[in-house]
């Protein structure tokens, strides 16, 4: 009988996090979501929270900045997936420290979900975020924590959002005489549906 690993998702109500929580629960994993109490009562996230409840997701109250709460949450699972946003990527050192203290985690998937930062040649502002993600990778490796780095390239949903809002948001500043195309204009780009990213991530927890 295939025993499903217990998975903790940090940042589960965010852009990619909500898909990860859903994919984990639907795949039959006992799924835990670390959430601040303020998020539970947040009207903007009410529908997400209710959908989690209907899937049997277990809520653990905690905060990324509270070490003991992190350790307590991590002690209840075997896999940790971080889906924190760009402004919190550097703070994943706190997750690393908590995983190291708990000592029971079989695999950690940090918040990547983009390009392979060890191979990327980004320009600002993306370059700063890439450097931070590289630093997190090195910190995980230095602590000897089992890990998987999930590289998914761009989010299709985010591209659609940008295209739908581009005219309204930026029409006043759109260039009228010329535009600058980087390189020769022929580089390929790949965008992936968030649901597919989440499904692949959950399949990767055993890798």
* Residue pLDDT, tens place only, 148-185: 998 887 665 555 544 455 544 444 555 677 777 767 77
CA quadruple 6, 146, 153, 15: dihedral sign: positive
Are the beta carbons of 84 and 180 closer than 8 angstroms? no
The set of residues, in sequence order, having a beta carbon less than 8 Å from that of 85 and lying 6+ positions away, is: 11, 14, 15, 111
In the sheet with 31-35, reading across from the earlier edge strand, the strands are 58-61, 31-35, 7-10, 79-82, 107-109
Buried b (16+ CB within 10 A) or exposed e, 165-195: eeeeeeeeeeeeeeeeeeeeeeeeeeeeebe
Residue 191 region, left (φ>0) first, then alpha (ψ -120 to 50), else beta?
A: beta
Are the beta carbons of 86 and 113 closer than 8 angstroms? no
DSSP class per residue in 42-76: -GGGHHHHHHHHHTTPEEEE--TT-HHHHHHHHTT
Question: Greater confidence, 121 or 92?
Answer: 92
Enumerate the active-site residues. 133
pLDDT higher than threshold 70 for residue 27: yes
Structure confidence at residue 162 (pLDDT): 47
Quickly tell me which residue has 């706190």 as its tokens: 94
The set of residues, in sequence order, having a beta carbon less than 8 Å from that of 11 and lying 6+ positions away, is: 17, 82, 83, 84, 85, 88, 111
Q: Which letter does DSSP use for residue 10 in this model? A: E
Structure confidence at residue 1 (pLDDT): 57
In tens, the pLDDT along 70-79 reads 999 999 999 9
Task: Give the confidence band of 203 by pLDDT, cuts at 50, 70, 90.
Answer: very high
Domains of the chain: 7-154+189-206 (3.40.50.720)
Q: What is the pTM of this model?
A: 0.82
């Amino acid at each position: 009988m295939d025993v499903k690993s217990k998975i903790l998702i940090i940042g589960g109500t965010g852009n990619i996090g909500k898909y990860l929580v859903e994919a984990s629960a639907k795949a039959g994993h006992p799924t835990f979501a670390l959430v601040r109490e303020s998020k539970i009562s947040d009207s903007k996230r009410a529908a997400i929270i209710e959908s989690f409840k209907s899937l049997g997701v277990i809520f653990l109250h905690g905060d990324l900045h509270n070490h003991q709460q992190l350790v307590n949450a991590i002690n209840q699972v075997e896999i940790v997936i971080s889906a924190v946003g760009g402004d919190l990527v550097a703070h994943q050192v706190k997750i690393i420290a908590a995983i190291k203290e708990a000592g029971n985690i079989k695999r950690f998937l940090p918040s990547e979900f983009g390009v392979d930062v060890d191979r990327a040649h980004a320009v600002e502002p993306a370059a700063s975020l890439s450097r931070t993600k590289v630093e997190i990778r090195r910190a995980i490796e230095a602590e000897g924590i089992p890990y998987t780095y999930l590289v998914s390239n761009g989010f299709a949903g985010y591209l659609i959002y940008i295209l739908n809002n581009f005219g309204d948001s930026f029409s006043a500043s759109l260039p009228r005489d010329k535009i600058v195309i980087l390189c020769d204009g022929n580089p390929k780009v790949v965008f992936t549906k968030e649901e597919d990213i989440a499904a692949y991530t959950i399949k990767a927890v055993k890798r």
